[in-house]
Amino acid sequence: MNRNSDKRKSLLVFLGRRWALIFLVIESLVFSFTTEAFFSLKGIQIVLFYGTTIFLLGTAETFVIITGGIDLSVGFVMGFASIVSAKIVVMLTNMGVPPAISILLGMLITWMIGLVPGYVNGSLVARLNVPPFIATFSMLGITHGTSELLIRGVPAKNLPYLANAIGNGYFIYLLPGKAISFFNKPVIQRGELLLEIIPNMVVIAFVFILIFAFLLKRSKFGQHIYAIGGSTDAALRAGINVKAHLIKVYMISSFFATLSGTVYMLQYVTGKADAGAPFLLDAIVAVVIGGASLYGGIGTIGGTILGCLILSVLETGLRMMGVPTFDKYIAVGVILILAVLIDQFFPELIHREE
Amino acid sequence: MGYVLEVQNITKRFGGLVAVDNVSMGVNAGEVVGLLGDNGAGKSTLIKMVSGVYHPDGGKIFFLGKETRINNPMDALFLGIETIYQDLALAENLNVYSNIFLGREKLKKILGMIKVLDHDYMLAESKKVLKKLEIEIPSLKNRISMLSGGQRQAVAISRSLYWDAKFLIMDEPTAALGITEQKKVLDLVRLLRSQGLGIIIISHQLHDVFSVADRLVIMRRGEKVAERITKDTDPNEVVGLIVGAETVKR
């Protein structure tokens, strides 16, 4: 009998640790059968295209959550970055700078500016012992207000056409049997089949996500992030400069939020204060679905990406079925509460021992 | 004879309170000294001055015969003075070998330039140090949260030893453990003594201290009130000294 209950428990543990993957497969199957558009090259790319924001904000949040903190400002830092980058690009273009260079400069300068909110968040948390949710909640207000001040009700517009071409272009264009082209959309005759593979913005997002996932998993820097999340005392006594480390983590978070803002600027060819606001909940939920603990010390970028895919598939699938996406918000809220409860009462069910 | 660690007339005040008052003591290599006293007697303050957490207001600290200033915990670690606190200070979410190497991770280069953690090396080295200490832990890839109290204590000790400790301070090493595990940890302390370390043990468990310590130093209200060779005294006398019931001969 005992043996049987052991078996049942290990089955539960097996399923518990893979529930996210199982859920993703089931969800995708359901949408493949209930909608015509989902299971196609186009459908999958829509999932990725709409997922870019969650992928980036989820990555930002993963770093902070592993330290046991939370960053509520990512959504509005993203909006702020979309406006700042749009303004800079328009300004440079008006000064006669070629579009390609204005866009490149606009993004780089915005990435620099985007480190500031993270530095302030990190300093408040690490040096002045402000609870993370208070520090970053204040930053949410500050970036929101600053964004509104910058645009004064008029959205940033008149971006060069090139922004649209990059933001909505694809990595690979394929004319089956005839030609292949990278980045440049070939001119085609009517009726010809052109395959567009992997949106540019997804490529950019994943270049950065992969670099930082590597940093988190394999480097000493990443290892110390986990140590701080596990026990600040242990980290301190091991000689780790916990304060400096935390500040860097919050800066990574706001860098990804900023990156997401510049990606938004290219995708939607505008800047908007609340561009990222609806995705804050999604980003946190994706991290938790991915197996991270809100108590800190546990979590991976791989898990977060899985969580992001679940949410993006849900969103895309429901839209294709014509279901209003309010339902998604309810589902997401419920998933978050359930995941946190399981984390609190049955941690061994979802976290690996090793 | 030369002490590994010696303090002379060391004093620490917190405002008007004298937490440690003119205390002198020393520990030889290969010797275990039990530091005893009631709560608030000044034991913790004394060892925190040695481990660099507090800075003494008066007196001297000698390490390996040389007068030394220990300004912060890193200084102490650098000298080879390791302190194992009651809460052990392990990162529970990391595995055994990551804790042993925490803060001093071994790196290797890949692709000729990128430095990454060298898990294989850290695992192999950790295995060696645990073997030397005759500690058995099922898998060094297990997270600390999977281990028993005694195993955690053993990991904390191995970490200190791997980094070449010459002197070990243990704060209540057996307090949170079951009977079998207490015995294992005490055996480990004896093994370390036989390998030539100087050790100070703070404990309220008189039985444990008597079974492992060579010498006892007893403190009361910040002062050192007595020093005894363990085999020349008994728990009754020591309890009397701790609470101050007997007239004290220094």
* Nearest beta carbon to residue B89 from set A219, A234, A296: A234
SS3 content of chain B, % helix, strand, coil (to 5): 35, 30, 35
Task: Find the CATH number of the domain harbouring A338.
Answer: 1.10.3470
Give pLDDT, residue A5. Answer: 67
Q: Is the ipTM of this complex over 0.85?
A: no
Confidence at residue A4, expressed as pLDDT on a 0 to 100 scale: 66
- Give the pLDDT score at B246: 55
At B250 the pLDDT is 46
Beta strands in chain B (DSSP E): 5-14, 17-27, 31-36, 58-63, 66-68, 81-84, 107-110, 114-117, 167-171, 198-202, 215-220, 223-229
Residues of B in contact with A353 (CB under 8 A): 142-143, 146
- At B180-236, the pLDDT tens digits run 878 888 888 898 899 888 999 998 888 889 999 999 999 999 999 989 999 898 888
Q: Nearest-CA neighbor of A88 among A167, A174, A159, A171?
A: A159
pTM: 0.86
Q: How many structural domains are present in chain A?
A: 1
Cβ distance B51 to B7 under 8 Å? no
Does residue A231 sit at the B interface (CB-CB below 8 Å)? yes
pLDDT attached to residue A212: 96
Residues 6+ apart with CB under 8 A from B46: B7, B10, B12, B20, B23, B35, B219
Give the model's pLDDT for residue A1. 45
Enumerate chain B positions whose Cβ falls within 8 A of a Cβ in A. 73-74, 77, 85, 87, 89-95, 98-99, 102-105, 107, 115-117, 139, 141-143, 146
Sites in chain A below the pLDDT cut of 70? 1-5, 153, 349-354
Q: Which residues of chain B have pLDDT under 70?
A: 1, 246-250
Residue A249 confidence (pLDDT): 97
Residue-range domains of chain B with CATH? 1-80+166-250 (3.40.50.300), 92-164 (no CATH)
Range of the domain at A31: 2-350
Q: Do B117 and A227 touch (CB under 8 A)?
A: no
